[in-house]
Amino acid sequence: MRTDWRDHDWQLIHTIPQSPALHMALDDVLTHEVGADRRAPTLRIWEWAAPAVVIGRFQSLRNEVDAAAAQRHGIEVVRRVSGGGAMFIEPGNTITYSIYAPLSLIKGMSFQEAYAFLDAWVLQALGELGIKAWYQPLNDITSAGGKIAGAAQTHRGGAVLHHVTMAYDIDAAKMLDVLRIGREKLSDKGTASAAKRVDPLRSQTGLPREAVIEHMIATFRRLHGLADGSLQADELAAAEAMAQGKFASAAWLADVP
C-alpha cells in the first residue's frame, strides 16, 4: 500500500561537519536502518568538514577525476552508493541533503515520478525564496538561471535513499581542474572560460547559505512534519567503521576503474 508523507514521523539530522567518507557511510547505514524499520524516515542535511569529489556508483574513476589535480588541491575522492554524476564539494559551497524513506512512499511510481515527488518540497521552498525552479528529467533541478541541483536514488532493502547536491557558490575553475567530464562538457559549450562561479542559489536568493537551509527545513516541517532528531550512537559507530573500511578502500573507490 502507498503511504503519504504525513503517515510517517519524519526526523531531522543536522550535525557538525563530517568527513566525505563518513557521509558516504551514513547514507549506507541510515538507508539500511530505515529499510529495516529500526529508524523513522529521516531528512539529513550534510555539513562538510573537507573538500571532496563524490563520484557516482557506476562512474569510471580515471575517466571522471584528474587524480593529480585533486591531490594538488587537497581534495578527497570518494565513491557513493547511488548512480548519477560526479559532484565537486567545498565546505559552504553546496547544500546537500538525503531523504531516507520506506519504499511505500514511492510505491507504484516510475523512477521519473519518484525523483520529482521526493523533491517537490524543495521546489516549493525555492519558489518561496524567489527562484522559479522545476524538475528536469531524469534527475536535475533547474531554473532560469541554470542548473541548481542533481539528485540520485538507490533502493536498499525496504527503503529508498534520495540525495541531492545543490550548487550554492562553486569555484568553477577549480571544479574544471579536477573533473575531467565537466571540463569536456563545458569546453564543448564554449563556456569554460566564461563562468568563474557556478552560484545559482547565492545569486538568485541573495541569502547566506545557512538561511537557505533554514528555509528548506522550515518548508519540509510545514508540509510533511519534521521532529528534531539525532544520530544514534550505534548508527554513528557503524558508519565510522564503514567509512574507515569500505569507503576508504581502494577496492571500492576503483570498483569501476
Partner 1 sequence: MHGEYKMPGGKLVVIDLDVHDGRLAKVQLSGDFFLEPDSALHRINAALDGQPADAGEATLANALRAALSPDVMMYGVSPEAIAVAVGRALHRGSEA
Single out the segment in contact with partner 1 by CB under 8 A; choices: 1-9, 151-159, 189-197, 219-227: 151-159
Backbone angles phi, psi at 35, to 5 degrees: -65, -30
**Which positions from 109 through 148 interact with partner 1, judged by CB under 8 A?**
111, 137-139
Q: Which residues pair with 100 in a beta bridge?
A: 42, 161
Q: Which of 74, 108, 190, 257 binds partner 1 (CB under 8 A)?
A: 257
- b/e sequence 28-41, b meaning 16+ C-beta within 10 Å: bbbbbbbbeeebeb
CA distances to 22, 123, 191 from 117, rounded to whole Å, are 27, 10, 32
Contact between 203 and partner 1 (CB under 8 A)? no
Tell me how far, at minimum, the Cβ of 110 lies from partner 1, in Å.
Answer: 9
Among 59, 98, 143, 219, binds partner 1 (CB under 8 A): 59
Q: Are 2 and 113 in contact (CB under 8 A)?
A: no
Contact between 95 and partner 1 by CB under 8 A: the answer reads no
Question: What residues are paired with 99 via a beta bridge?
Answer: 43, 162
CB nearer to partner 1: give 16 or 250: 250
The answer to whether 35 contacts partner 1 (rule: CB under 8 A) is no
31 lines the binding site for partner 1 (CB under 8 A) = no
DSSP letter, residue 254 = T
Q: Which helix (H) or strand (E) holds 250?
A: helix 250-253
Q: How far apart are CA 49 and CA 17, in angstroms?
A: 5
**Smaller CB separation from partner 1, 84 or 213:** 84
Residue with cell string 554513528: 236
CB 167 within 8 A of CB 147: yes
**Residue 200 binds partner 1, judged by CB under 8 A:** no
Selected from 35, 41, 51, 85, the binder of partner 1 by CB under 8 A is: 85
User: Does 18 sit near partner 1 (CB under 8 A)?
Assistant: no
Least distance to partner 1, CB of residue 113, Å: 12
* Candidate list 49, 50, 181, 223; residue touching partner 1; CB under 8 A: 181
List interacting residues with partner 1 (CB under 8 A): 56-60, 63, 81-86, 111, 137-139, 152-155, 181, 256-257
